[in-house]
Amino acid sequence: MAKTAVQEFTKGLWAEIPPFRLVLGLCPVLAVTTGVENGIGMGVATTFVLVCSNVLISLLRNVIPKKVRIACFIAVIATFVTVVELLMQAFAYPLFLKLGIFIPLIVVNCIVLGRAEAFAAKNKVIPSFADGLGIGLGFTLSLGALGGIREILGSGMFYGMPVFGPSFQPFGFMVQAPGAFVCLGLMLCVMNMLGKK
């Protein structure tokens, strides 16, 4: 039991790391990763929703009728997203303003619904918790990495601190929309290369 839970947790970190291995939930990945802080903030919010909804759906999996399960899952997820929204408004207001529309949009993040449908609806509570935590952490790491690369190249800073000397000319392309697509595409390419070996 304990072993499987650990396995479910670790698979989210490499073997099935979302946006790269599961190409799902791309919108927040592209939109909020202009910096490390935004990326990690978004990742943590998504992880919270993922873990809570996985646990609750796993608890309710024998109660929810098969035919209306998607609607029930969405209701559960939307509830937790509302919780996150209100919590962030109370405790992390600047971050809430920066992430803006993408907080309510966690509801339609395919990763969350995907894990509910593919995992939590079929498994016990502890593995579902581990799965949610693993996938969420993997998502946070990817967002942080992408945010880091884009922030370093695009504005010459890391977590708001300058990395290069004053002579550095920021590569503005990276923090704009096109840079997001290109950067994610190239990171996916690197992941594929590493995965082959």
User: What are the residues binding other proteins (CB under 8 A)?
Assistant: 23-27, 30-31, 70-71, 74-75, 78-79, 81-82, 85-86, 101, 104-105, 107-110, 113, 176-186, 188-190, 192-193, 196
Q: Cβ(127)–Cβ(5) under 8 Å?
A: yes
At closest approach, how far in Å is the CB of 100 from other proteins? 8
At closest approach, how far in Å is the CB of 183 from other proteins? 8
Q: Cβ(41)–Cβ(92) under 8 Å?
A: yes
Comparison of 30 and 153: residue with beta carbon closer to other proteins: 30
For 170, what's the count of Cα atoms within 13 Å in the CB-facing half-sphere? 17
At closest approach, how far in Å is the CB of 29 from other proteins? 8
Comparison of 15 and 182: residue with beta carbon closer to other proteins: 182
Comparison of 4 and 192: residue with beta carbon closer to other proteins: 192
Cα of first residue to Cα of last residue in the chain, in angstroms, is 31
Comparison of 26 and 125: residue with beta carbon closer to other proteins: 26
At closest approach, how far in Å is the CB of 109 from other proteins? 7
At closest approach, how far in Å is the CB of 152 from other proteins? 18
